[in-house]
Amino acid sequence: MSIDVKVPVLPESVTDATVATWYKKPGDFVKRDENLVDLETDKVVLEVPAPVDGILESIAVESGEVVEANQVLGVVKEGEIPAEKAEASVAPKASTAPAKEATAPAANNQHNTDTGSAGPAARKMMQESNIDASQVTGTGRGGRITKPDVQSVANTPMEERVPMSRLRQKIADRMVEAQSTAAMLTSFNEVDLKAVMDIRKKYKDEFINKHGIKLGLMSFFVKAATEALKQFPVINASVEGTDVVYHKQQNIGIAVATERGLVVPVLKNTNAMGLADIDAGIRDFAVAGNAGKLTMDDLTGGTFTITNGGSFGSLMSTPILNMPQSAILGMHTIKDRPVVVNGDIVVRPMMYLALTYDHRIIDGKDAVLFLVAIKEMLEDPARMLLNL
């Protein structure tokens, strides 16, 4: 009995998907629930499993083609898998997508670095083209470098054109939308993180022993942002047409860099979360993001975003709004700097903070006071944690 393998029901707001990678080819044995093909949407990668044990009879849609919900991707002929094939069928298979043509000659294990092994015409061309003999694989008699060998290197394309992934296209669209829609303005401040660092150092072992996770820096920022959003609800609002929508729950997105691009999974109702819950949530998002396992629910519903360019060494930047949200907090690298505390010059771990906000609904006063509130809570975290 032959059974169609179909595109699953796509998440809300997603109209189509792109066939990314086939893990089986026609004639291969497949096991029920084994992943056959990945589909890439604007936000997540969907795995399409085999419906039954059997043989992949045919593939209807090749990698790179766009498909819609319930469209047939291929056909599996149901049947028992021979014992000797059962184990092999679960081994990773190479993609059936056509391989890209190489843009440079394959390297030989023994490069000919002796220019004397090149003919006169080949030597002249290497000199004119500034090509070293070690870059050329000789195909002439005894490995001699010929003029066509040099030409093949000299004519190697110096660029490669690759289509944007669905995720990268979506990121590009959202960045342009933010720039062209919102009246973006950025305010800056700096925060002394000594108190936070002291807490993390003092309780790191107890925290890991009790909660099974490292006490991170981001969780303090999420808690501070949550409290500040409660104090300044307009920062937690968004614009819909001519209306301002005030969100009653603090859902904070955490920008995560993955191999596929930047994604922003959302911690829901952070007001009800402790530091351990936040740290565990961020860890799970990072793991799922790198494995391509984030769901649409993970990526939707955010009301405010935090991005940490400091993890890559950024000293200062102006983050772009994550539409339709009205504000985003940018963290940056921590640097020991001399500051004045109670009249004395001391060295403290300092971080620049940036708040980009939509000036259509957020006044400068509220934005600045919001940023100051975060600064004060981080510089005296005991008050924040004690809800004072």
Alpha-carbon distance of 255 to 328, in angstroms, equals 10
Query: Beta strands of 215-343 (E only): which ranges?
Result: 237-240, 243-246, 252-254, 256-258, 261-263, 266-267, 304-308, 327-331, 335-341
Alpha-carbon distance of 278 to 220, in angstroms, equals 9
- Indicate if 332 belongs to the active site: no
HSE-up (13 A, CA, CB side) for residue 369: 12
Residue among 33, 114, 198, 363 flagged as catalytic = 363
Locus of tokens 């009879």: 57
- Indicate if 363 belongs to the active site: yes
Locus of tokens 């084994």: 34
Alpha-carbon distance of 105 to 153, in angstroms, equals 7
Alpha-carbon distance of 283 to 262, in angstroms, equals 16
Alpha-carbon distance of 27 to 49, in angstroms, equals 16
Residue among 211, 277, 359, 366 flagged as catalytic = 359
Measured CA angle at 286 (ends 285, 290), to 5 deg: 115
Cα torsion 174, 175, 178, 179 to 10°: value is -150
Alpha-carbon distance of 58 to 113, in angstroms, equals 49
Tell whether omega for the bond before 324 is within 30 degrees of 0, i.e. cis.
yes
Measured CA angle at 208 (ends 220, 351), to 5 deg: 30
Measured CA angle at 305 (ends 242, 170), to 5 deg: 75
Query: Which residues are known catalytic residues?
Result: 359, 363
